[in-house]
A and B are shown apart, each in its own frame.
Chain A
Amino acid sequence: MNMNPLKVENVVKQYGEKTAVNGISFEVSEGEIYGLLGANGAGKTTTMRMVLGLIYPDEGKILYNGKGYSNDQLSNLGYLPEERGLYPKVRISDQLVYLGQLRGMSKRDAEQSLKKWLDRFEVPEYYNKKIEELSKGNQQKIGFIASVIHSPKIVILDEAFSGLDPVNVELLKSTVKELRDAGSSILFSTHRMEHVEELCRNITILHRSNVVLKGNLKDIKKQFPKERVLLNTPKEVTGLERINGVTNVIRHEYGYEIGIANEAAGADILRHALTQTDITRFEIKEPTLNEIFIKTVGGDSHE
């Protein structure tokens, strides 16, 4: 029987009068990174907390390998909270080994695993340091290690990359991919669409507690019309805005970005440009997730 490690069915959570999450459903299969997108306060963290069993859903159910939540499940879960939670004054080796032990590792395994991860992040010297001595970005690395030190089957990363420099983002991203390839199911939330496009197969976009868009990332993109053309030419091209179906033309240093009402207009643009000059680049662009997000969530995404 093919049972997905994590299955969320019609989960509803209410805080008093306010509905925080209104009927979300999704499944995460083995070796998959599932993207949970949404503006601030859309219900991402609440959803994650319900998956973790920190809070209980009012309706619906969450299944782990087909079973309900229990304390036995705990050692299979790894969690990186949005507000990084570690003891500021306790040595990293002490607290991470402690957390590893709490999730069922032996002391020796936890120590080995911690050393391995610190080497992976090229910071073995942090072993005996305290959290408060580290910079925010480095604290985050340690937080990440804390969430995966016990090689959990289900990893939940809340805003894993926020506050990191580009080098560390790449480092962390490649680590997340390794985890995925090793068979972990990862639930991942972020504001940064380019990370989602790179990592996630399936996504759910939440808006004001409701699911507004859900499914395979490629399918979602197909649903949205291709509305932009990139055109790079050595010489100037005139009269682009007069072509039928062109909505707007923006001139960049490298060339033109042209808005189109339908894909057919693309061919007209190509033909029109060829009559005037050579073409170094012509592309009818897929909509970016960023554009899709803004379109579905709308301009009022920020409260």
Chain B
Amino acid sequence: MNKFWTVVGFTLKNKFRGKAFLVTTLIIALIMTIGINLPYIFSQFNSGDKVTSIGYIQSAQSEGSATGDQLKAYFEAQEKPGVKLVPYEDKGSEAENEKQLKQAITDKDIKGYLAFGKMTDSGFPEMTYKSEKLLAFQLTSSIQSGLQVIRQGTVLKDAGLTSEQLALLNAPIEIQSVQISATEGAGSIGEGKTPEEQAVNMGLVYFIVILLFMAIMITGQMIASEITAEKSSRVMELLITSVSPLKQMFGKIVGMFLVGLIQITIYVLVIIINVKLPHNSETLIKFNIDLSQIDPMLLIYSVLFYLTGYFLFATLFAAVGSIVSRTEDLGQAVLPITMLSLAGFYISIFSISSPDSMLVKISSFIPFFSPFVMLLRLGLTDPPVWEIIASIGLLLVTIYISVWISAKIYRTGVLMYGKRPTFKELRKAMKAYKI
């Protein structure tokens, strides 16, 4: 056991001493900080600038100008108008008017202007919004909805409704959805999940699934490449004559796991610190996100699936790393494992809107996918307890088998140089070695 911790310690020490590790950790932490602060930074840039000014020609002759006045009044009446209409004097001719408005755009007084045409059946004239920008959908739709309200107002007024009736007509209709489970679920039983909880849990599931995937990819690659490097530099011959392969392999895996854990802890701390900053927490409240709504059971399951998923893939990466003799060949050799983890990751991410599909149900029992997929089911639905136990049980059995095979491959593989060993040779050698 002592030697095992010696290997763990050595792995940790070397990683932390390496400049590459420090630099990547810092860069990712920096990117995270920027990412979290981005909404705030944007809001700083946009404040006050949010109102788009639109010009129109105010004249007695044009029918359209009345519509313009109505819109102006409508947007001015709003609490936080996104649009402001700016009237311009009629210069007499269409060409002159256009010139005047274009000048206003160049002067940055307005973003664009509305041109009115003939009267239509809708009760409003033909309208064209002219601006330098492409695709001003948001603007046209807010003008559209404004016009609709105006029209509704006029029509209803003509119908002679009282103001109470008007208010009733305009009152919003709400529908709430709560996710429940018909049978006993594994999560917080019976209570069901409100939309807010669902949103927060969905966020957590996303977060953990991405985290697990990253941990598997990054640490897995590191484990495999370290073992290959030890093999190609022949340190392996010294190591394998000093300590049993199983201790060696697991020392490396656990060491790397701790490295990854420390890295993730740093990232999580960076996130928490950033989120707790006063300006950011305001933004969070604005988005209606309350982190205290996370289901504690989900957190426990997350940790469980994170650990099992990590160890399953890590042992495979170690085995592959021990078969390859040169670091250049490693990328190709780890491809199957990468694909395997990618598959689980994608099933989980793309099923986030349909966590009840057959694909999700089946793959939540397949050991290589279940860490990703079962987590999705746990977060978004309430799967029966036995299914979760079965899934974890299958995972543990697979890990046990994978550890055993990987240790055998490791013991055999680290001494095979040159050509790739044939399956027969590998099997014969594996039989000979005790772990």
Partners in one complex: yes
Asked whether B31 is an interface residue with its Cβ less than 8 Å from the other chain, the reply is no
> In the complex the two chains form, is B10's CB within 8 Å of A94's CB?
yes
| Residues of A111-142 contacting chain B, CB below 8 A | none
A103 interface neighbour in B234, B237, B242, B433, Cβ under 8 Å? B242
Give chain B nearest CB distance to A6 CB in angstroms: 14
Asked whether B62 is an interface residue with its Cβ less than 8 Å from the other chain, the reply is no
Asked whether A84 is an interface residue with its Cβ less than 8 Å from the other chain, the reply is yes
Q: Which of A34-42, A47-55, A179-187, A228-236 contacts B (4 or more CB under 8 A)?
A: A47-55
Asked whether B177 is an interface residue with its Cβ less than 8 Å from the other chain, the reply is no
Q: Which of A75-83, A192-200, A242-250 contacts B (4 or more CB under 8 A)?
A: A75-83
> In the complex the two chains form, is B244's CB within 8 Å of A71's CB?
yes
Beyond A54-B415, A94-B13, A102-B3, whether A86 also contacts B241 by CB under 8 A is no
B234 interface neighbour in A81, A99, A104, Cβ under 8 Å? A81
> In the complex the two chains form, is B432's CB within 8 Å of A56's CB?
yes
Q: Report Cα–Cα, A85/B241, bound state, in Å.
A: 12
Which residues from A are CB-within-8-Å of B230? 87
A74 interface neighbour in B10, B233, B242, Cβ under 8 Å? B242
Q: Report Cα–Cα, A71/B241, bound state, in Å.
A: 9
Which residues from B are CB-within-8-Å of A84? 234
Interface of B is mostly: helix
Q: Report Cα–Cα, A99/B233, bound state, in Å.
A: 15
Q: Report Cα–Cα, A70/B122, bound state, in Å.
A: 94
> In the complex the two chains form, is B239's CB within 8 Å of A102's CB?
yes
> In the complex the two chains form, is A102's CB within 8 Å of B233's CB?
no
A102 interface neighbour in B236, B243, B415, Cβ under 8 Å? B243
Q: Report Cα–Cα, A53/B432, bound state, in Å.
A: 11
A16 interface neighbour in B6, B233, B244, B425, Cβ under 8 Å? B425
Which residues from A are CB-within-8-Å of B234? 81, 83-85
Q: Report Cα–Cα, A155/B396, bound state, in Å.
A: 42
> In the complex the two chains form, is B242's CB within 8 Å of A99's CB?
yes
> In the complex the two chains form, is A146's CB within 8 Å of B238's CB?
yes
Which residues from B are CB-within-8-Å of A95? 235
Q: Report Cα–Cα, A89/B14, bound state, in Å.
A: 9
Asked whether B240 is an interface residue with its Cβ less than 8 Å from the other chain, the reply is yes
> In the complex the two chains form, is A81's CB within 8 Å of B239's CB?
no
| Residues of B219-262 contacting chain A, CB below 8 A | 230, 233-244
Give chain A nearest CB distance to B193 CB in angstroms: 51
Q: Report Cα–Cα, A84/B10, bound state, in Å.
A: 20
> In the complex the two chains form, is A90's CB within 8 Å of B14's CB?
yes
> In the complex the two chains form, is B13's CB within 8 Å of A53's CB?
no
Which residues from B are CB-within-8-Å of A75? 242
Give chain B nearest CB distance to A159 CB in angstroms: 13
Which residues from B are CB-within-8-Å of A86? 233, 235, 238
Asked whether A98 is an interface residue with its Cβ less than 8 Å from the other chain, the reply is yes
We find that the number of chain B residues with CB closer than 8 angstroms to chain A is: 24
Beyond A54-B415, A55-B415, A71-B244, whether A87 also contacts B233 by CB under 8 A is yes
Asked whether A301 is an interface residue with its Cβ less than 8 Å from the other chain, the reply is no
| Residues of B388-435 contacting chain A, CB below 8 A | 415, 425, 432-433
Give chain A nearest CB distance to B432 CB in angstroms: 5
Beyond A55-B415, A98-B10, whether A85 also contacts B236 by CB under 8 A is yes
Asked whether B318 is an interface residue with its Cβ less than 8 Å from the other chain, the reply is no
Asked whether A101 is an interface residue with its Cβ less than 8 Å from the other chain, the reply is yes
Give chain B nearest CB distance to A144 CB in angstroms: 12
Which residues from B are CB-within-8-Å of A16? 425
Give chain B nearest CB distance to A142 CB in angstroms: 12
Which residue of chain A lies nearest to B424 when distances are taken between CB atoms in the complex? Answer: A16
Give chain A nearest CB distance to B30 CB in angstroms: 26
A77 interface neighbour in B13, B18, B241, B425, Cβ under 8 Å? B241
Give chain B nearest CB distance to A269 CB in angstroms: 53
Q: Report Cα–Cα, A84/B233, bound state, in Å.
A: 8
B241 interface neighbour in A53, A90, A94, Cβ under 8 Å? A53
Which residues from B are CB-within-8-Å of A87? 14, 230, 233, 235
Give chain A nearest CB distance to B287 CB in angstroms: 46
B237 interface neighbour in A71, A85, A94, A104, Cβ under 8 Å? A85
Asked whether A60 is an interface residue with its Cβ less than 8 Å from the other chain, the reply is no
Q: Report Cα–Cα, A84/B238, bound state, in Å.
A: 10
Which residues from B are CB-within-8-Å of A146? 238
| Residues of B301-355 contacting chain A, CB below 8 A | none
Asked whether B380 is an interface residue with its Cβ less than 8 Å from the other chain, the reply is no
> In the complex the two chains form, is B237's CB within 8 Å of A81's CB?
yes
Give chain B nearest CB distance to A16 CB in angstroms: 7
| Residues of A129-183 contacting chain B, CB below 8 A | 146-147
Give chain B nearest CB distance to A83 CB in angstroms: 5
Q: Report Cα–Cα, A95/B230, bound state, in Å.
A: 12
Render B1-33 as a binary contact track against A, CB cut-off 8 A, 1 for contact: 001001100100110001000000000000000
Which residues from B are CB-within-8-Å of A103? 242
Q: Name 18 interchain pairs, CB-CB below 8 A, sorted by A.
A: A16-B425, A54-B240, A56-B432, A71-B244, A75-B242, A79-B237, A85-B238, A87-B14, A87-B233, A87-B235, A88-B233, A94-B13, A98-B6, A99-B238, A99-B239, A102-B6, A102-B242, A103-B242
Further pairs besides A55-B415, A146-B238: 7, Cβ < 8 Å = A71-B244, A74-B242, A84-B234, A85-B236, A87-B230, A102-B3, A147-B238
- Chain B residues within 8 Å of A, Cβ to Cβ: 3, 6-7, 10, 13-14, 18, 230, 233-244, 415, 425, 432-433
- Chain A residues within 8 Å of B, Cβ to Cβ: 16, 49, 52-56, 71, 74-75, 77, 79, 81, 83-90, 94-95, 98-99, 101-104, 146-147
